[in-house]
Amino acid sequence: MAITILPPVVEDVTPYHADSDDSMSGADSDSDVEMSGVSRPNKKPRTGNGKISSGIVTPGEIVTADPKWMRGHGTYMNPLSTSIIATVAGKVQQTNKLLSVHPLRARYIPEIGDLVVGRIVEVQSKRWKVDVAAPLLAQLPLSAINLPGGILRRRTSADELQIRTFFSEGDLVVAEVQSVHQDGSASLHTRSLKYGKLRNGVFLAVTGTGGSGASSSSVKGGVGSGSGSSAAAASSGTGGGVVRSRRQVWTHTTANGGGEVDIILGVNGYIWISKHADGAEAVSSTTENVSITRMEEMVSSSIYSSQNDDVPPQTRREIARLTQCVRVLVQGGVRVDEDTLTDSYEASLQVDLEVGDDEEEEYGQEGREYLEGAKARRILELTMQGK
């Protein structure tokens, strides 16, 4: 016995009544059944009232039934109707006549020129596979890195045999998106002194939609380079991701004798906070008339090292304070950028001054380094003042 699969029934359409009599329409319907075995519904879409769903929509929910709107990302239109249906859970965004649904949680979508922080997950013969929080692993070709000594030449089989000496599994790298393939995977490069292996710091992952700014994020702890850098404790909350259109790499001068700290905000939602690396500055200060190639020769001898440098306790304490400020912003639903992170750091210093012997019951007895509970709420309040 043959099995007949009937087409799905669309709820928001009404049957179309032709001008001809019922007998003719019935004959046509019978003939369709005899020929194909499946009756084709002759229906006319119903026009909507122009209203657009507000708030958060869920997959399968009708955003609007008005035919004047065009569908954008995160939506779907049934061929048998004019209704725009949401395919992801998120908020509806309107751009002129275009309707799109911005997802609450989504993977990072690479774009050319993005600065990303990634982790090496696989070493192949001529390339590395890098996790950049995208749907597919990114590729870092051997030809897209600077070889030790600043040599600009073709990569040979000898370089392929030594590929694991440059980057190995578990190493963290900062790179730039060079190209995006048709399948959505990205190709990275590190042909600059500001890119390369990351050491002497703490890794944080602000999950969500990365640079596009989700309304749900979390902070996860991780290990730095393969040599075992400092780790950050896991936490969760509702944050806004990393802002794409702001400065992503800068050096912050900390208080309490911590010195300078480098901060890297990857567009993909990965954050790196480490001790300031002054290797290039030391070279430029000792040699006044030095070429760029010579500078790379003097600096690149240590850029692929997996050994962490000696980080003073004061610097470690301030790095931990900055990582906790990121957690406070994420838990408060604030998007992370240079301004918000700097303001939250200054607010944490101010809260430390407010804490005294009489306020131990309010803030707890965990010490000045503890930035949770009432202190986190106070830091968030000071950060958002005047914004």
Task: Render each residue's pLDDT in the chain as its tens digit; 387 residues.
Answer: 677 777 776 555 444 444 444 444 444 444 444 444 444 544 444 434 557 777 789 999 999 988 899 999 899 998 888 899 999 888 898 888 899 998 877 788 899 999 999 999 999 988 999 999 999 999 999 888 887 766 666 777 877 888 888 899 999 999 999 999 999 899 999 988 788 899 999 999 886 554 433 333 333 333 344 434 443 433 333 446 787 777 889 999 998 888 999 999 999 989 999 998 765 444 433 334 444 445 445 445 577 888 888 899 999 999 999 999 998 998 888 888 899 999 999 999 988 887 654 455 555 444 556 677 888 888 888 888 866
User: 292 and 263 in one domain?
Assistant: yes
Tell me the residue range of the domain where 279 lies: 115-309
20 falls within a domain: yes
In a domain, 14, yes or no: yes
Structure confidence at residue 9 (pLDDT): 67
Tokens standing for residue 173: 């790298």
Q: Is residue 187 part of a domain?
A: yes
**For residue 153, what pLDDT is reported?**
67
- Overall domain count for the chain: 3
Q: Which residue has the tokens 């051997």?
A: 142
Does 214 share its domain with 73?
A: no
> Does residue 16 form part of some domain?
yes
CATH code: domain of residue 66: 2.40.50.100
Last residue of a domain, one of 293, 309, 325: 309
Q: Is 55 left (phi over 0), alpha (psi -120 to 50) or beta?
A: left
> Looking at the domain assignment, is residue 384 inside a domain?
no
Residue 73 lies in a domain: yes
80 shares its domain with 136:
no
The CB density around residue 270, as the number of other CB atoms within 10 Å, is 27
Residue 285 to residue 227: CA distance in whole angstroms: 29
Same domain, 145 and 169: yes
3-class DSSP assignment, residue 272: strand
Residues 66 and 86 in one domain: yes
The CA distance from 356 to 84, in Å, is 58
Answer yes or no: do 175 and 221 share one domain: yes
Helices assigned H by DSSP within 2-147: 22-36
Amino acid at 238: T
Helix (H, G, I), strand (E, B) or coil at 312: coil
Give yes or no: residues 158 and 278 share one domain: yes
Asked if 183 and 135 count as a contact pair (C-beta separation under 8 A), the reply is no
- Predicted confidence at residue 341, as pLDDT, reads 92
| Placement of tokens 């699969």 in the chain | 5
Pair 233, 371: CB distance under 8 Å: no
For 202, half-sphere exposure in the C-beta direction (CA atoms, 13 angstrom radius) is 23
* Phi/psi-derived region of residue 133, left when phi > 0, alpha when psi is between -120 and 50, beta in every other case: left
Residue 167 and residue 226 share a domain: yes
Using CA atoms, how far apart are residues 276 and 339, in angstroms rounded to an integer? 19
